[in-house]
Amino acid sequence: MALGPEQIGAIPRALPIFLEGRALVLAPPVAQELGLRAGQVIELVSALVDGRARLLYGDRALQLSGQAPFPPGDRRSFRLRSTPRGLALDPVSAPSRRAPGPAPSTIPGAPRFSGLFRQLAAPSLSLAQQAQRMDGLFALSEKAPPEHQLTLPRPNSGDLDGAALRASLVQSGLFLEGQLAARRPVSPMDLKRALLRVGQLAPANSELARVTGEVLSGLERAQAEGVVAAQRQDVHLAWVLTLRDGPAVALELQKEQAEDRSAAPLWVVHAATTLDSLGPLWMRTRFSLDGKVGFTLWAPKPGTAELARREEAGLQGELAALQLRLESFAVHAHARQDRP
């Protein structure tokens, strides 16, 4: 499997970050290892990991030489500036909404694997239902006592880019067992780790415990499907991207064999969400290694399909800037029918 748990979920050792007055400074070796340079803007999340202050950069834990400069759970942006000691981090935005409750500080007990493959026999929710159930879980969690909350940071929709999508996959919980088996540190933002913790602490008969169990069951089904696909030397990864300022988006990444068996395989991303203004949306994007992109959208709410069709030229231009070519663009004014 090209994106196996041993690779994609790996988190290197904690990297040091130093306090210079109220400023933060990344030592040159650390900045080089992270691929950072002066002028970049990065986002850091403050967290307590095993009782110690950390700043999280994506899936990388930066070890602080002193106390955290802002409260655990806060997410803030910084612009990098060159100094004799390294790259200083200058704040560029006000603190975002603080994630309630403390960050997870311990890895839960070893999960039980006995029911993992039985998940394949269970009925599967549609992508849209998976996204809605995750939103429901966060809504319940925010009303629960602090110790029962998920305490997982969620990006804003305007902050989405390739790095944010990769971080959401790394932290999706799909690779927890692989990380533990390889004796690699698990991200404190790992979804399955958080679900197991909440499942242990929430009252047994509560709505929070029920929905947490349902989400955990769906996650284990996705893990099982990923393992089966890997046995076929294929790729199937399914996870949910949760957002702070909008509804969750359920995603699936698959490798698809081209019609010409001698050609390179295609990569397909399926996505589903529901927006108040546009209604339910299903998307399928197909990429080929030679830069061709095929996009299909299903939008049953009246008027939404017409709006989407007007965006074809804009999408074509954005892809061209990335040296990609929009090979096909289709918008359907009905619900998706080629799969559940």
Q: What is the 3-state secondary structure (H, E, C) of 300-336?
A: CCCCHHHHHHCCHHHHHHHHHHCCCEEEEEEEECCCC
CATH architecture assigned to 257-340: 2-Layer Sandwich (3.30)
Confidence of residue 286 (pLDDT cuts 50, 70, 90): very high
Contacts of 82 (CB under 8 A, 6+ apart): 38, 88
Sign of CA dihedral 273, 56, 70, 152: positive
Give the separation between CA 247 and CA 105, rounded to whole angstroms.
Answer: 28
pLDDT at site 15: 56
**What percentage of the chain carries pLDDT values higher than 70?**
77
pLDDT tens digits, one per residue of 256-285: 876 776 778 889 999 999 999 999 999 999
Confidence tier at 45 by pLDDT (50, 70, 90): confident
Identify residue 337 by its one-letter amino acid code. Q
> Which of these ranges, 48-52, 175-179, 214-218, has the smallest mean pLDDT?
48-52
Mean pLDDT of 51-72: 69
292's CB contacts (< 8 A; 6+ apart) are: 324, 325, 327
Whether residue 65 is predicted with pLDDT greater than 60 in this model: the reply is yes
Question: Which pLDDT does position 93 carry in this prediction?
Answer: 55
Instruction: Output the average pLDDT for the chain.
Output: 79
Give Cβ neighbours of residue 245 (< 8 Å, ≥ 6 apart).
156, 157, 158
> What pLDDT does residue 67 have?
67
- Strand partners of residue 24: 19, 89
Tell me the CB-side half-sphere exposure of residue 322, using CA atoms within 13 A: 14
265, burial (CB in 10 Å: exposed 0-12, middle 13-18, buried 19+): middle
Looking at 18-27, 173-182, 210-219, 293-302, which range is the least confident one? 18-27
What pLDDT shows up at residue 161?
Answer: 83
* Statement: residue 18 has pLDDT above 70: no
At residue 309, φ and ψ (nearest 5 deg) are -65, -25
Question: What percentage of the chain reaches a pLDDT higher than 90?
Answer: 33
Q: What is the pLDDT of residue 140?
A: 93
Return d(Cα 8, Cα 262) in angstroms, integer: 28
**CB crowding 99-130: b at 16 or more within 10 Å, else e:** bebebbeebbeebeeeeeeebeeeeebebbeb
Separation between Cα atoms, residue 236 and residue 124, nearest integer Å? 15
Buried b (16+ CB within 10 A) or exposed e, 28-52: eebbeebebeeeeebbbbbbbbeee
Domain boundaries, the chain: 5-91, 257-340
Residues 137-161 have pLDDT tens digits of: 999 999 989 888 888 888 888 888 8
Answer whether 312's CB lies under 8 Å from 278's CB. no
What are the CA-CA distances from residue 69 to residues 25, 53, 64, 75, 95 (Å)? 12, 9, 9, 11, 12
CA–chain centroid gap for 289, Å, is 24
pLDDT in tens, 102-133: 333 333 333 333 344 444 555 567 888 899 99
Q: How confident is the model at residue 317 (pLDDT cuts 50, 70, 90)?
A: very high
Query: In residues, how long is the chain?
Result: 340
Residue 7 has pLDDT above 60, yes or no: no
Q: Count of alpha carbons within 13 Å of 165, Cβ hemisphere only?
A: 13
